Structure 1
Amino acid sequence: MTLRAPANSLLTITAGARLFALIVLAPLIAFTRDYPTILSAILMAAVWTGATFAGGLPRIQPGPAVLVEAGLVSLLVGMSLESTGVLIPALVIPPFIAGTYQGARGLARVLGLECLVLLVVVSADPAVRLAPDLLALLFTWLMAGLGFGLIGAVVRSARLELGDSTRSSYRDARALLTQLLQLSDGLIGGLDPVSIANHIVDLAREEIPLSGAMLHGRHPDGTVTGIGGDGSAPELADRETLVDQVFSTGEPVVERHAVALPLMTDAGIVAVLTAGLAPGVDPGALRVDETARSLVQSLATESLKLDTALVFAAVRQSATTEERQRLAREMHDGVAQDLASFGYLIDDALASAESPAQATRLRELRTELSSVVTELRRSVFSLRNENGRGLGESITDLARHIEARTGIVVEVLRDESRSRLRPEVESELLRIAQEAMNNSVKHAHGSWIRVTCTVRAPQARVTVQDDGVGLRPSRDDSHGLRIMRERARRIGADIEVGDSNPGTLVMVTLGPLEGGALSAPHIPSSTSATSLEGSRT
């Protein structure tokens, strides 16, 4: 760190010290009524003013400037010793400033210079008599200068350590962010929580005959989330209870038809593996309890991989959420306001239209602009709508928003377990449901929309059905359902689109659902899956 780095704060401190010294000395000087002393004080004030001004100039180095200030102050103090020693306390200021800017070495140089200048002035002026009282006064204030200078040096040292610590923290943060970017670019496949979870299930199944194995995590608020798995287990009526028990005790749970294992790292429990035992398996005969305990240890490496993948996913989700909020603000404060102003201009032009044909064209333009504004508002709502409250609640809020703006009745049926999907999965399913509802509003020309949301984390199903005109031939510029398909593929879900007689049905399914879920509507095979390209958007 250079001496100029903390310049702003140090300049304030040193200027305050000089000002305080002048305020303290002013009444003492005025009381003496000694004009040479008053003149010396005025000159000292000018020196300190110039030093303060020079301290704010980037080309002036603090070291030489402090030495010049110390020499001039010592000279003025020495010249006033003939009549009074009232200016001697001013000798404290240069050492304090030197210690603050340069540390112990600068303090030693300034004190040495002050002593040298005083010695030269006293030797050159025979009128100055160094009485014992005067010598004691000089020694006292020089030692006071030494003390204040040491305080300044300590302050400087603390500031340097703080600066080094701050730079070190930023260097560490930069290194970590660089590694994060490298992981994001090159190792994204190795940091997929679902893939790692499925691999853990395969490893566990090699040791214990399992069925319907699933991995569950937990949010900081205590909400259980599904990470991955390979199927359902009807014999497991309440996985959440097993998950809570394992998170509470940190021990494996083996029951007659169920197994729950903690996946642990040095930081604690990362996730819990729940599964049913394969039909006909005798837990006692296979010593499932002992095998489960040894399996917890053997899965330590995979648990660390899963923990890393979950942290990486959380970082990506946080960055995505922040960017969505920023885009929403930019769209609302920028484009939306410009479109609103444009609408006012159209209204003014319509009020002064010179012919019916011109008025008709302006009304058509106003209608199109209103449509664009509506779409923009939907986009802003989509960007701002968070999925922190759960998929079902987010879909319900979205349905209310659409119903309030369009007048179309939107019915939402929810069947959700206490466990949650991972945030990125909820986000993708929400966007698919939103796109399907928007398609129904824009193209179906129906009177109602029915949405079902079934969640048995990590499995889920979302359907959107309307009573409109059904599918129509796709357009070359149609992207809506293609994007829906990409979103579904991103989370490993299947999506089907078809005529539902009446209207259209969109169904996205993530994994095989366990019992208790809302029944899936039927989509004719002739229009399912491949009908994605026969879209309405």
Structure 2
Amino acid sequence: MPSSQAFAVVAAARLFALIAIGAPALYLRQTDALIALLVLAVLWTYQVVTATRRELELTLSPAVEATAVGIVCAIGMKSSDAILAALVVPPLYATAVAGTRTMVRTVAFQVVSIVSLGLMWHGDITGQEGVSIFTWSMAGVGLSLVAGVTFASDYIELDPLAPYRDAQHLIRQLIELSDNLSSGLDVPALGGEVLAVIGDRLPTQALALFVPRGDALSPVAATTDLDGADTDACEQIATDAWAQAAPVTTGRSFALPVGDAAVVAGLLPEGSAADDVPFDVLKKALAASVVKFDTALLFLPTSATSPRPASASGWPGRCTTGWPRTSRLSATSSTRWRPARPTSTRPSSSRSSATASPRSWRRCGSR
């Protein structure tokens, strides 16, 4: 359905057409042209007024208006060629309310009516009048084609189901791509793989992987249970590395940002200094695992990115509020994707092994 803006554009075109016709007619005192101008003014005023109450369906169709304008122009063109400027308006109106196809029919009705009635009323049409009819008709067609680009959006009906169809298309593409995945996209499992890569290259007492959740960091996986002091140390140094977006070392503690958002924090064995940690080597070794982990993070539920309240039971307890094991789409054994099942909010008691590394890791919240 045409918008109010489209009707406003047509109304403005009618007004300017009346001014273009009336100014020379008044200056030259052409009585017949002024009568034709008055008829056009009445016709277009009726169209504008009825357009404000479109639900009554009293507005004349584009073909009827074009025929009426053609009749008026045919009768008044001998008194003033300026009256033919009215031929610009009906094609524009047709384009605004129905599109370019209706505009073509409207121009045909308009030309036939003015030529046929002009021959019957005056007996002949001079060459100058024929050129003027053609010129103003083509001007209306050109203006309508240009305006049609603006009016095109008015004819597009919004489909409320279009976002769902687009989502279906994208999910089907994702399912096809999942055939090429070498592993699933389970966040804790891939987090354990990241920790295993570091553990294979660096002797550590404990490792933990954190990801942002709102304005704080939340642990995803760890290699062992930590006491209160070690928990606070890992969390603090991970927060510092996250804020600085750079590796941080303090005593035997270290933290390394990996991927787009994750941070690995760890404790070296007693007597070791974190200043000697080869961060460049670790980053190169983690390149493949981090890509998988960042991909898995993209499919976390929205609730997984919101801040979670602190628990008084220490860091492992804060994880047992239910970090999602799977995303909205979870991988099966064949890496085909299906909607994830709701996960329990109770702590898991099973141990997972994401890699073949001899270093075991525990999912956050396991006992």
- The two structures have a TM-score, normalised by structure 1, of 0.45
Q: Aligned partners of 1:18 and 1:273: how far apart in 2?
A: 70
Contact in 1 for aligned 2:87/2:136 (Cα 8 Å): yes
1:458-497 alignment, distance < 5 Å: none
Kindly indicate whether residue 144 of structure 2 is the aligned counterpart of residue 149 of structure 1: yes
Rate the CA distance shift 1:455–1:248 in 2: closer, same or farther, 3 A.
Answer: farther
Equivalent of residue 211 in structure 1, options 202, 205, 208: 205
Contact in 1 for aligned 2:70/2:113 (Cα 8 Å): yes
Q: Aligned partners of 2:78 and 2:278: how far apart in 1?
A: 102
Rate the CA distance shift 1:235–1:127 in 2: closer, same or farther, 3 A.
Answer: closer
Rate the CA distance shift 1:18–1:291 in 2: closer, same or farther, 3 A.
Answer: closer
State the match for 1:227 in structure 2: 219
Equivalent of residue 66 in structure 2, options 70, 81, 84: 70
Q: Aligned partners of 1:104 and 1:154: how far apart in 2?
A: 10
Kindly indicate whether residue 246 of structure 2 is the aligned counterpart of residue 276 of structure 1: no
Q: Once the 2 structures are TM-superposed, how far is the Cα of residue 167 of structure 1 from its aligned partner?
A: 5.4
State the match for 2:126 in structure 1: 130
Q: Once the 2 structures are TM-superposed, how far is the Cα of residue 273 of structure 1 from its aligned partner?
A: 0.8
Q: Aligned partners of 2:316 and 2:124: how far apart in 1?
A: 94
Contact in 1 for aligned 2:66/2:90 (Cα 8 Å): yes
Q: Once the 2 structures are TM-superposed, how far is the Cα of residue 259 of structure 1 from its aligned partner?
A: 4.7
Q: Which residue identity lines up with residue 57 of structure 1 in the other structure? A: R
Kindly indicate whether residue 111 of structure 2 is the aligned counterpart of residue 115 of structure 1: yes
Q: Aligned partners of 1:172 and 1:235: how far apart in 2?
A: 44
Q: Once the 2 structures are TM-superposed, how far is the Cα of residue 22 of structure 1 from its aligned partner?
A: 2.4
Structure 1, unpaired ranges of 5+: 180-189, 318-422, 430-453, 461-488, 493-509, 512-537
State the match for 1:424 in structure 2: 308
Q: Aligned partners of 1:455 and 1:87: how far apart in 2?
A: 89
Equivalent of residue 293 in structure 1, options 281, 284, 302: 284
Q: Which residue identity lines up with residue 163 of structure 2 in the other structure? A: R
SS at 1:424 equivalent: coil
Q: Which residue identity lines up with residue 171 of structure 1 in the other structure? A: P
Contact in 1 for aligned 2:237/2:255 (Cα 8 Å): no
* Residues 182-217 of structure 1 deviation map (CA, whole Å, 9 limit, x = unaligned): xxxxxxxx9998x67975676457635533433344
Contact in 1 for aligned 2:238/2:256 (Cα 8 Å): no
- The two structures have a TM-score, normalised by structure 2, of 0.62
Q: Once the 2 structures are TM-superposed, how far is the Cα of residue 74 of structure 1 from its aligned partner?
A: 0.8
Q: Once the 2 structures are TM-superposed, how far is the Cα of residue 138 of structure 1 from its aligned partner?
A: 2.7
Structure 2, unpaired ranges of 5+: 172-183, 319-343, 348-363
Equivalent of residue 41 in structure 1, options 37, 41, 51: 37
Q: Aligned partners of 1:262 and 1:310: how far apart in 2?
A: 22
State the match for 1:389 in structure 2: none
State the match for 2:326 in structure 1: none
Q: Once the 2 structures are TM-superposed, how far is the Cα of residue 88 of structure 1 from its aligned partner?
A: 1.1
Rate the CA distance shift 1:90–1:288 in 2: closer, same or farther, 3 A.
Answer: closer
Rate the CA distance shift 1:131–1:203 in 2: closer, same or farther, 3 A.
Answer: same
* Residues 374-426 of structure 1 deviation map (CA, whole Å, 9 limit, x = unaligned): xxxxxxxxxxxxxxxxxxxxxxxxxxxxxxxxxxxxxxxxxxxxxxxxx2325
Q: Once the 2 structures are TM-superposed, how far is the Cα of residue 226 of structure 1 from its aligned partner?
A: 3.9
Q: Aligned partners of 1:92 and 1:102: how far apart in 2?
A: 16
Q: Aligned partners of 2:56 and 2:74: how far apart in 1?
A: 30
Q: Once the 2 structures are TM-superposed, how far is the Cα of residue 174 of structure 1 from its aligned partner?
A: 8.3
Contact in 1 for aligned 2:7/2:96 (Cα 8 Å): no
Q: Once the 2 structures are TM-superposed, how far is the Cα of residue 490 of structure 1 from its aligned partner?
A: 6.4
* Residues 354-380 of structure 1 deviation map (CA, whole Å, 9 limit, x = unaligned): xxxxxxxxxxxxxxxxxxxxxxxxxxx
State the match for 2:78 in structure 1: 82
Rate the CA distance shift 1:100–1:172 in 2: closer, same or farther, 3 A.
Answer: same
Identity of aligned residues (%): 21
State the match for 2:97 in structure 1: 101
Q: Aligned partners of 1:290 and 1:490: how far apart in 2?
A: 38
Q: Once the 2 structures are TM-superposed, how far is the Cα of residue 150 of structure 1 from its aligned partner?
A: 1.7
Rate the CA distance shift 1:49–1:95 in 2: closer, same or farther, 3 A.
Answer: same
Query: What do you get for the CA RMSD once the two structures are aligned?
Result: 4.8
Contact in 2 for aligned 1:235/1:276 (Cα 8 Å): no
Q: Once the 2 structures are TM-superposed, how far is the Cα of residue 156 of structure 1 from its aligned partner?
A: 2.6
Q: Which residue identity lines up with residue 151 of structure 1 in the other structure? A: V
State the match for 1:409 in structure 2: none
Q: Aligned partners of 2:291 and 2:11: how far apart in 1?
A: 61
SS at 1:275 equivalent: strand
Q: Which residue identity lines up with residue 215 of structure 1 in the other structure? A: L
1:520-535 alignment, distance < 5 Å: none
* Residues 142-187 of structure 1 deviation map (CA, whole Å, 9 limit, x = unaligned): 2321221222222233656xx58x75996169849xx9xxxxxxxx
SS at 1:43 equivalent: helix
1:498-517 alignment, distance < 5 Å: none
Rate the CA distance shift 1:301–1:309 in 2: closer, same or farther, 3 A.
Answer: same
Q: Aligned partners of 1:7 and 1:93: how far apart in 2?
A: 18
SS at 1:274 equivalent: strand
Rate the CA distance shift 1:280–1:158 in 2: closer, same or farther, 3 A.
Answer: same
State the match for 2:352 in structure 1: none
1:241-260 alignment, distance < 5 Å: 257-260=252-255
